[in-house]
Chains A and B, each alone.
Chain A
Amino acid sequence: MSTIVELLDVVMDFETSSLGRKQKVRAVDRVSLRINKGEIYGLVGESGSGKSTLGRVSLRLYKPVKGKVIFENKDITYLPERVIRPLRREMQLIPQDPYGAINPAQTIGEALIEPLQVHFNTSKEEAFNRACRALEEVGLIPPEDFMDRRPMELSGGQLQRAVIARAMILRPKYIVADEPTSNLDASIRTSIIKLLLDFREKYDQSILFITHDIALLSLIANRIGVMYLAQLVEEGSVEQVIKEPLHPYTKALLSAIPLISSQIGLEKVYLKGEIGDPANPPRGCRLHPRCPLVLEECKSREPPLIEVGNGRSVKCWLYYK
């Protein structure tokens, strides 16, 4: 299987300052992962886990402090913006909040035409026609009704469709979908997911799907990676991770879903407290202060990411032999 995006030992830091005191927050800590061509890789974790940052690093919207970002066998980690720019049309972000994604002063038409002109120098008329077709493709019909509207004049679901149309108009190969449906009502969520899946099928795309909703991932993803406090703690095929979660954190995530948790015969794990401060992660295993299965060594030594066979790995001392 060939790879579209590979992250090698990626580290990403942010500096924050509080009351004049500067503080370094490590948002992503030594994460490696590989996204295969045509695959949907689901990245799951709570807020503060670093999953969105990792997604943006994979698009080289952030330059990592350490590690490498490989896109289509090309190391793009340190390429200057001028060289990366032509690659940008092949990788696109679909963010969570559609209202933040399109300039509120632009019309939907302008937002769709702009990338075509920037990347392909498309003529005005041709760009207009392609924008109309792109709106049709996402079900905003008739497109003429939407071209002159501004973001605030669309419902959340309609605007998310427009955002998807804009991302897809450049025919990207790699999509990072960052919680694209979590601001939407349940009754329209599926139609947005379906839209993304149709595009993937039609244009042979690969998707990094970022979400806190592990149940949703179980339906659409091929493989799942679980993040906790800036680190990847479990990875495997969707069946393996959902049917037989290994890491106590993955088990806790599954145990917390209402209704579903009681329907899958799963060993339940309940965690104490809340996700810690990424600026000040616990020593040893980062989950140890909350973990009901904690061992002595968890408190002082960080577990390695242990390969347990079949492409699965887990960062937990319970599986160290």
Chain B
Amino acid sequence: MEVLTVNDLWVKYYTISGIVSAVSGVSFKLRKSEMLAIVGESGSGKSTLGLALLNMVPKPGRIERGEVILDGVNILKSSPREIVKIRGSRISMVFQDPFTTLDPLRKIVDQFEEFLIEHGVDKTRARSIIKEYLEAVGLPERVMYSYPHQLSGGQKQRVSIAMAIALNPQVVVADEPTTALDVIVQKQIMDLVDSIKEKYKSSIVLITHDLALALERADTVMVMYGGNIMEYAGKTELYGNMKHPYTRGLFEALPRILQKTLPKSLPGNPPDLRYPPPGCIFHPRCEFAMEKCKSEKPPLIEVSKDHIVACHLYG
């Protein structure tokens, strides 16, 4: 059963120096209690896509085209009043930096309560929700009465997660939720995200630059480059059967422990999205590029069941 369907989504930023095509025709479906990892490097459009899922792309960005259908409703067509209600209650977001998402001047309980009351929860019920969800993310009750600076990075990220799940949304979008944290805390937070997925049957969109993390944690993985989907497959299928040269390049760039050879790196730089290259957006960095790749954009091809690749090698 799908909880979220994205159809042909296009997002552009209208900057002074030019029009940046951040997301170019992305479509996918998210099932109930599925964790989808969106993997990409800086400039891949993964964070913009995450924001677009909540109809929250900041200016000068604009969603040009497409649909984000949550529970049968295209939220890109929702009125500003409706969308405020939907955010946080039916689809919510956890950001990378737990140090800036919380108001430094207010106690956790006050911020949390305000958020719940804005969504129509009454005050007594709000208190019990706060207690319940702080406990669910493994925080002691006293955290309620703390200010953000009294908490560690990991604790703050737990608070953000508690707020993101408190109204039991169908979808939680987590944009690099562990990137600002140390490895051991990263693991603790990802274990927490896993347990939430199990317990509340939430669907999770994990946005990350780390292919290893995606392959370890997610159910399905979508690899993005320059605003386009390069490859999409179930985790096990992708791990055993990587097709796209970019996905393989990312995988080969991961350090393998104790091998005496360095991981490979991809030559060249990410594309300037004001002037994206014609044809396949990856062709200037691709070692398998053919003539066709320079002029013709490869379509998304289903190479096996639910495994999709945008590459002329498989066309």
Binding site for B on A (CB under 8 A): 46-47, 155, 157, 185-191, 193-194, 197, 212-213, 215-216, 218-220, 238-239, 242-243, 252-253, 255-260, 262-264, 270-271, 274-275
- Minimum CB distance partner of A266 in chain B: B257
Question: Most chain-A Cβ atoms within 10 A of its Cβ — which of B42, B182, B186, B210?
Answer: B182
Minimum distance in angstroms from A312 CB to a CB of chain B = 17
Interface residue from B41, B154, B257 paired with A242 (Cβ < 8 Å): B257
* A212/B41 in contact, CB under 8 A: no
Report whether B265 and A275 are in contact in the complex, using a CB–CB cutoff of 8 Å: no
CB of B153, distance to nearest CB on chain A (Å): 8
User: Chain A residues near B73 (CB, 8 Å)?
Assistant: none
Are the CB atoms of B256 and A260 closer together than 8 Å? yes
Q: Is the CB of A256 within 8 A of B183?
A: yes
Question: A186-B250, A253-B183, A258-B213 known; 13 other A-B pairs, CB under 8 Å?
Answer: A186-B210, A188-B266, A189-B265, A190-B253, A194-B262, A194-B265, A215-B255, A216-B255, A218-B258, A219-B258, A239-B258, A253-B184, A258-B216
Q: Contacts A256-B184, A258-B210 given; indicate if A187 touches B266 (C-beta within 8 A).
A: yes
From residue 68 to 99 of chain B, which have CB atoms closer than 8 A to chain A?
Answer: none
Contact across chains for A186 and B209 when beta carbons are under 8 A apart:
yes
- Which of A187, A243, A259, A275 lies at the interface centre, i.e. has the most chain B CB atoms within 10 A of its CB? A187
Determine the residue in chain A with the shortest Cβ distance to B191.
A270
Given contacts A186-B209, A219-B262, contact A275 B257 (CB under 8 A): no
- Does the CB pair B183–A219 fall under 8 Å? no
Which of B184, B210, B212, B270 is the most central at the interface, judged by chain A CB atoms within 10 Å of its CB?
Answer: B184
Within 8 Å CB of A255, what residues of B? 187
B196-220, CB < 8 A from A? 209-213, 215-217
Q: A46 near B258 (CB under 8 angstroms)?
A: no
Interface majority SS (helix, strand, loop, mixed), chain B: loop
Give chain A's interface secondary structure class: helix
A188 proximity list for chain B (CB < 8 A): 265-266, 269
Q: Is the CB of B253 within 8 A of A186?
A: yes
CA distance A253 to B216 in the complex (A): 17
Determine which of B184, B190, B209, B269 lies in contact with A46 in the assembled complex, contact meaning CB atoms within 8 Å: B184
Q: Please give the distance in Å from B121's CB to the nearest CB on chain A.
A: 31
Chain B residues, CB < 8 A from A274: 152-155, 182, 184-185
What CA separation (Å) do A194 and B264 show in the bound complex? 10
Interface check B263, CB cutoff 8 A:
yes
- Interchain CB contact (< 8 A) of A219 among B190, B216, B253, B259: B259
Is A187 within 8 A of B257, CB to CB?
no
Kindly name the residue among B182, B211, B217, B257 whose own CB sees the greatest number of chain A CB atoms within 10 A: B257
B249 at interface by CB-CB < 8 Å: yes
Chain A residue at minimum C-beta to C-beta distance from B187: A256
Sort A-B residue pairs by CB-CB distance and give the 5 closest, nearest first. Answer: A190-B265, A46-B182, A187-B266, A259-B212, A185-B41
Q: Report the bound CA distance from A271 to B191 in whole Å.
A: 13
Query: Once bound together, how far apart are the Cα atoms of A157 and B265, in whole Å?
Result: 12
CB–CB A191/B216 < 8 A: no
For residue B290, CB closer than 8 A to chain A, the reply is no
Chain B residue, CB-CB nearest to A193: B262
Q: Is the CB of B263 within 8 A of A212?
A: no
**In the complex, are the beta carbons of A219 and B260 less than 8 A apart?**
yes
Does B183 lie within 8 Å of A243, measured CB to CB?
A: no
Residues of B254-308 whose CB lies within 8 A of A: 254-266, 269-270
* Chain A residues, Cβ within 8 Å of B269: 155, 157, 188
Q: How far is the CB of A195 from chain B (nearest CB, A)?
A: 11
Question: Can you show 6 pairs from A to B with CB atoms below 8 A apart?
Answer: A256-B186, A256-B187, A258-B215, A271-B184, A274-B184, A275-B182
Asked whether, in the complex, the Cβ of B258 is within 8 Å of the Cβ of A190, the reply is: no
